[in-house]
């Protein structure tokens, strides 16, 4: 999905085989303890301790410690959507503060040299992002609802879908927060939006709309600048088209309407409760008039 700083392939993503697994478990326990105590007030202290852990990779040739730390932070960020900004800020500080001589001899840059430092950090992070995005797009995370927007049943599959959907939405917000801190590029964000909109006819469109909603709600304001205005106009025209001419769940149509209204309002959020009447009045909305989509 992403160009430029090309992610690793699946085989490269797997950690190198190690005979002694105990250091891995010890590292996970240590990092988990630090992340459980992480708040904005002690950010600097926790960052310094994690940087000290990451710098152990300086004596490694495969970046094992750095990779493990990034993956654990990533999982925390996806599971704790309300703290995505906290973990994105942590990633930014970690990337800037780590030893830039950390290397992975198995990962090559376009110039043929082994990736190291900031480039290696981004390689690991981009790969994790891409794998999670592809996995989420290919999975059925949709929770079946009745006409009153209530879950049809609450079986084990339902609770599993709820858990995975929360992680999926956490990924979207974390992705947006990383973009806001210039950890990932604007082109990557646009590729994600296009991927969601271009695959609108897929059997799993529901989670794509969910992802798009969370992504644009968080990062849309930064994306909607003069140079990218034509792209944004196209995105919102497609959203209006999907809401009007495709057989989307009405709940998803309301989400698209909310995004359109958010942009129309200058990306200033409007605190309002979910209006169930809008589910039944969706047919009355004239989505064909695109003039109101542009600032």
Per-residue pLDDT of the chain (295 residues; tens, 9 = 90+): 555 445 443 334 344 444 445 578 889 999 999 999 999 999 999 999 999 999 988 999 999 999 999 999 999 999 999 999 999 999 999 999 999 999 999 999 999 999 999 999 999 999 999 888 888 776 655 555 555 555 555 666 667 777 888 888 999 999 999 999 999 999 999 999 998 888 655 666 788 888 999 999 999 999 999 999 999 999 999 998 888 766 777 788 888 989 999 999 999 987 655 454 444 444 444 444 444 444 4
End-to-end Cα distance, the chain: 29
Q: Does domain 10-127 fall into CATH 1.25.40.180?
A: yes
Question: Residue 171's closest CA among 138, 205, 136?
Answer: 136
Rounded Cα gap, residues 225 and 232, in angstroms: 9
Degrees to nearest 5, angle at CA 279 with 277 and 281 = 70
Among 36, 41, 35, CA closest to 53:
35
Name the 3-class secondary structure at 115: strand
116 beta partners:
103
Helix (H) or strand (E) holding 221: helix 205-223
The ranges assigned to domains in the chain are 10-127, 138-293
Six-digit token pair at 148?
Answer: 């009153």
Report d(CA 175, CA 196) in Å as an integer. Answer: 14
Domains 10-127 and 138-293 fall in the same CATH topology: yes
- Predicted local confidence at residue 208, as pLDDT: 86
Integer Cα distance of 282 and 249 in angstroms? 11
Question: Do residues 138 and 195 make contact, with C-beta atoms less than 8 angstroms apart?
Answer: no
Contact (Cβ atoms closer than 8 angstroms) between residue 139 and residue 123: no
What is the total residue count of the chain? 295
Is the domain covering 138-293 a CATH 2.30.30 domain? no
Q: What is the pLDDT of residue 202?
A: 61
């Amino acid at each position: 999905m992403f160009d430029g700083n090309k992610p690793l392939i699946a085989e490269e993503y797997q950690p190198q085989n190690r005979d002694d697994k105990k250091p891995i478990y010890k590292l996970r326990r240590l990092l988990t303890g630090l992340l459980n105590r992480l708040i904005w007030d002690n950010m600097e202290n926790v960052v310094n301790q994690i940087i000290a852990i990451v710098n152990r990779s300086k004596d490694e040739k495969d970046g094992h410690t750095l990779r493990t730390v990034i993956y654990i932070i990533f999982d925390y960020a996806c599971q704790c959507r309300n703290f995505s900004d906290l973990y994105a800020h942590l990633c930014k500080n970690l990337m800037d503060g780590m030893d830039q001589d950390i290397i992975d001899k198995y990962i090559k840059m376009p110039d043929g040299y082994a990736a190291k430092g900031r480039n290696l950090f981004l390689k690991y992070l981009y790969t994790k992002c891409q794998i999670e995005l592809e996995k989420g797009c290919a999975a059925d995370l949709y929770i079946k609802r009745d006409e009153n927007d209530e879950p049809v049943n609450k079986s084990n599959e339902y609770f599993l879908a709820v858990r995975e959907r929360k992680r999926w939405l956490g990924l979207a917000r974390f992705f947006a927060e990383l973009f806001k801190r210039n950890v990932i590029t604007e082109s990557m964000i646009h590729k994600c939006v296009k991927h969601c909109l271009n695959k609108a006819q897929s059997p799993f469109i529901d989670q794509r709309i969910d992802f798009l909603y969370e992504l644009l709600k968080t990062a849309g304001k930064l994306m909607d600048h003069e140079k990218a205005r034509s792209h944004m106009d196209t995105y919102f025209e497609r959203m209006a088209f999907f809401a009007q001419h495709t057989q989307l769940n009405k709940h998803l149509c309301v989400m698209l309407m909310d995004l359109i209204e958010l942009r129309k309002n200058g990306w200033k959020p409007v605190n309002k409760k979910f209006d169930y009447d809008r589910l039944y009045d969706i047919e009355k909305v004239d989505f064909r008039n695109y003039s109101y989509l542009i600032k």
